[in-house]
Amino acid sequence: MHILIIGGTGMLTEASTLLAARCTTLTMIASSKSSLSKFDHTLDMVDCHRYLLNLNWSDPIEFVSAISRHILSVGVPNMVLAWVHEDNLAAELVKMFAIHNTCTDFFHVRGSSAGNPNADSQSNRAIEMSAGDINYHEIILGFQLAGSGERWLDHSEISKGIILAIDNPEQKSIVGSIQPWSSRP
C-alpha cells in the first residue's frame, strides 16, 4: 500500500508515523527540508520504503506538477492525507490523482473555519471534490469543550481523531467539536 501525506510533519506527525507503519511505500511532502529530516528520524523502526519530497505549495501549478511526476515514477497512492489550507489546491490535487484511474482515498484535513455554520454551505463538497476513482473525505479539526473553558485540540488529539476518521471513513468527519460555533477559543 502506498500512502502520500502532504503537510504531515508538524502537528500531524503522530498520525503520519502511524500511517507509515501501515504502508509499504510512503511519500511525505513538506515545505521544509528540516521538518522532513526530523520526521524521517521518527521512522527509524518503521519498515516502509519512503520518499521525502521538499515542495513549495505557494506555486500550486509547479506543486501539483511535481507530485504528478513523482507518482508517474513510483505509482499512484492508495491513500492521500492532505493538510492543505487552500481548497483550490486540494481540488487540483484531486483532479490530478483522478487522471490516473486508480482508486484513491483522499482525506482532506481542514481547519475549524470549514465548519462555520455562517459560511457558504459545504454540504455538496464531497460530491464536488470527488472525481473519477477518487473517494474524497473531509476531516474538520474543531476544538475541545472543557469544564474550565474551550481550547484548541492538542497534536495528539488531532492525530488520534484523524486516524479514527481514516479507519471509519465518512464523507465528512469532525475531530473535536465545532458547535456551538460561538464557543470557539
Q: Are 53 and 70 within 8 A, CB to CB?
A: yes
For residue 76, with 0-12 CB atoms within 10 Å meaning exposed, 13-18 middle and 19 or more buried, which class applies? middle
Q: Which CATH architecture has domain 2-183?
A: 3-Layer(aba) Sandwich (3.40)
What pLDDT is recorded for position 133?
81
First to last CA, the chain: 38
- The DSSP secondary structure of 124-142, one letter per residue, reads THHHHH--TTEEEEEEEE-
Of residues 124, 125, 157, the one with CA closest to residue 141: 157
What pLDDT is recorded for position 118?
76
Cell of 60: 500550486
What pLDDT is recorded for position 183?
82
Please give the average pLDDT of every successive group of 10 residues along the chain, which has 185 residues.
95 95 96 93 90 93 95 94 90 88 90 80 54 87 84 94 95 91 82
Distance (Å, whole) CA 171 – CA 134: 12
Q: Are 93 and 70 within 8 A, CB to CB?
A: no
What pLDDT is recorded for position 179?
87
